[in-house]
Amino acid sequence: MRNHKIFNTFVLLSMALQLSAQQKPMQHEPGPAGQVNVFLGASGDHGQMSPAASYPFSMLSIGPQTYPTTHMGYEYLAKKFLGFTHNRFEGVGCQGSGGNILIRPFLGTEPSKSVLMKTADRGEPGYYEVAFENGIKAQFSVLGNSGKHLYKFPKGEKGIYIDLSHCFVNRFVAEAHQIEGNSVSGWIEAKTTCNAGKYKLYYYLELEGGGTWKNTSAHELQQQLESGKTTAVIHIALSAVSTQAAKASLDKRSFEEMKKQSFADWNKELGKIAVEGESQSSSLFYSLLYRTMQSPYVISEKDGQYRDTKGAVQKDKMIRYNGWAIWDNYRTQLPLLSIVAPERYTGMVKSIEDLYRSGKKNYATQTEPSNTVRTEHAGVVLLDAYRKGYPVDFKSIADSLEKDAERLDYKSPDKALESSYDQWALSGIFEIIGDKEKSSFYKTKALQYKTYWSKDFKDMKRKDVDQMQARGLYQGTIWQYRWFVPYDVKGLMELDGGEEAYLAKLDEFFDNDYYNHANEPDLQVPLMYNPTAQVWKSQDWMHRLAVDTVVQNYFNDNSRGIGSNIGKIYRNQPEAYLRTMDDDAGAMSAWYVFTASGFSPACVGWPVYYLNVPLFKSLSYQLPAGKKFRIEVENFDPSYKYISKVFLNGKAIHRNYLSQQEITSGGLLKIIASPVPVHDPNLEKWISSFQ
């Protein structure tokens, strides 16, 4: 989701050569975390990611605030730093959100006169460090919702400055704090992404061995350090529940111990997928997998307390999460987590279910327990989770699901198709509940998509079909949205005049570069050859978009570019993605992880995955109870992108898909690659439909 401003680069290009060599390589421990490039997507409008020290699914991330800045507070090419902040929603638009509690080390007695100019910075999962021209060095680590600042100063006058009103894009609302000697605690209220709602976070911080903090204004604090002192440590923790809970979460182990444990925990999470391939490819893979594990955020305390979206304190044994970007990542990141993090995903599903009890809106409420974005298609996610074996108590939220459906919008062509998807899911949910009458009712409403589709998407000779925002569309074109019927491709094919006509339109779409990988509306279209006799074209496009040079004409400032973007989309560098392409809370990273693994969700709501040739000779998914799902490519070559044959646990399977159960049961998938398309007239092809 995005409402972009084009990033101002007026001083940045001149710095590029000077700063390109600033990063010194980290001395990594073995494991996948050591292959992560935390600077991927951290420059300009090419992913909107940051190198902040973070922890899996933690609301706390300590990162640099630069000038000029980007959505996440940090611009790789910038030299001037304003300080360090403690939260951000990685990879989303609307100019970002978060950036609370700015802490700034300074020399002298006046923070504003002490300029922080970067000489070099480095980072790895759980850790970030930067050195400045004035001799200050700053290091940060995060473990759970607790973190540390470690500052090293030259001798002389120095201090620490805090701005409790700091927030990206001036989205600060209010705060209250209490000073007790060397500690500060309180709460901060700020607007969520896109200003849709508000969240409230609680914090506790203390300066190790420090004196008393002093207010220099309503929201600003300062403390002078002893002139002979050359180090300073700040402990900080966040909570969605209370300042007391934040204080209880404070981790007092040494900085090195915290850094080491955080890295080890990242290794454990990222190690759930093992890839075997050359280092550049595996580094890109793990750098993107890392981005799929940063949100949603854990909002539960150790005693089980958490706040719901009404702001009320609840308590349960199951861990709760918040911080959603479901419209963006329900087709990629969430399905990936359903495989690689099933123990966490159970809590995520329960947390989405809770939204219907405590106040679900398409964007955010005014009392969110954490920063968040949007929740459209949450019902689709719950249906998908149930069909994958996750427990969902549909009966207890049935009324709320229906109330949510009453608010569905059909005013524009894209909304009509998206709302029909939600009606389809609701029909399936009431079928599960056993209410045949309501299931039939919502099925009928979902089938009305055919009327909307025929009105706006059948005739592709109208002049506006390739124009961004034509006919009131949101961030897309008629060409891009016409395929948004993932739940009934059989019906879509019939509306288009049959398989031959459907294929002709797909070919026209790709041949004219109407596809836009910089945004989500048509993200599933490369897979849509799979239900046809030309399955191999999906295999071709998935490979092309992942690793080859492609042409992209559309940008997320709602423009069709004057000049095309020609090149690779996924690059392991600060300018990683296309201009204006956001990672969107792991959505685009998870797309790559799936493609590299050789299978991708066919239709969220059904536990089915279409196959393609993996980007590695072998991969292994580590599953619960010691099970493993291994994928091997025979006749592997980086340029071989077509499937010749498929074997599952030694048995040939003549189909182009797998089920969730086949993946999570473990075993061996062997794909034999081919340099040329292979036509198998006996291939069983999965196609979504209302039957």
Give the tens place of pLDDT for each residue, 333-362. 999 999 999 999 999 999 999 999 998 899
Q: Where are the beta strands (DSSP E) in 196-345?
A: 198-207, 214-215, 220-225, 231-239, 273-276, 297-298, 305-307, 313-315, 321-322
Instruction: Provide the sign of the torsion angle of the four alpha carbons 434, 437, 438, 441, taken in this order.
Output: positive
pLDDT surpassing 80 at residue 11 = no
| Tens digits of residue pLDDT in 502-525 | 999 999 999 999 999 999 999 999
pLDDT surpassing 60 at residue 20 = no
Backbone angles phi, psi at 140, to 5 degrees: -140, 145
pLDDT surpassing 80 at residue 660 = yes
Q: According to the model, what pLDDT value does residue 6 have?
A: 34
684 beta partners: 655
Q: What DSSP element (H or E) covers 285? A: helix 279-291
Average pLDDT, the chain: 94
pLDDT surpassing 70 at residue 14 = no
User: pLDDT above 70 covers what percent of the chain?
Assistant: 96
Average pLDDT over residues 293-320: 98
Average pLDDT over residues 489-493: 98
Tell me which residue of 440, 443, 450, 383 sits closest to 416, measured CA to CA.
450
How many whole angstroms separate alpha carbon 50 and alpha carbon 41?
Answer: 7
Per domain, the residue ranges of the chain are: 35-271, 273-674
Give the burial string for 529-546 (b: 16+ CB within 10 Å, else e). bbbbebbbbbbbbbbbbb
**89 and 363 Cβ atoms separated by less than 8 Å:** no
pLDDT grade for 366, boundaries at 50, 70 and 90:
very high
User: pLDDT above 90 covers what percent of the chain?
Assistant: 90
| Tens digits of residue pLDDT in 25-69 | 465 567 999 999 999 999 999 999 999 999 999 999 999 999 998
**62 and 81 Cβ atoms separated by less than 8 Å:** no
CATH of 35-271, one of 2.40.37.10, 3.30.70.2740, 3.40.190.10, 2.70.98.10: 2.70.98.10
| Tens digits of residue pLDDT in 112-171 | 999 999 999 999 999 999 999 999 999 999 999 999 999 999 999 999 999 999 999 999
- Upper half-sphere CA count for residue 536 (Cβ side, 13 Å): 15
Q: According to the model, what pLDDT value does residue 3 have?
A: 44
How many whole angstroms separate alpha carbon 657 and alpha carbon 643?
Answer: 12
| CATH number, domain 273-674 | 3.30.2080.10
pLDDT surpassing 50 at residue 626 = yes
Tokens 């809106």, located at residue: 361
How many whole angstroms separate alpha carbon 659 and alpha carbon 608?
Answer: 5
| Tens digits of residue pLDDT in 636-647 | 999 999 999 999
**569 and 554 Cβ atoms separated by less than 8 Å:** no
- Ramachandran region, residue 635 (left: φ > 0; alpha: ψ -120 to 50; beta: rest): left
Give the burial string for 408-425 (b: 16+ CB within 10 Å, else e). beeebbbbbbbbbbbbbb
Do 35-271 and 273-674 have matching folds?
no
pLDDT surpassing 70 at residue 487 = yes
437 beta partners: none
**457 and 466 Cβ atoms separated by less than 8 Å:** no
| Tens digits of residue pLDDT in 420-447 | 999 999 999 999 999 999 999 999 999 9
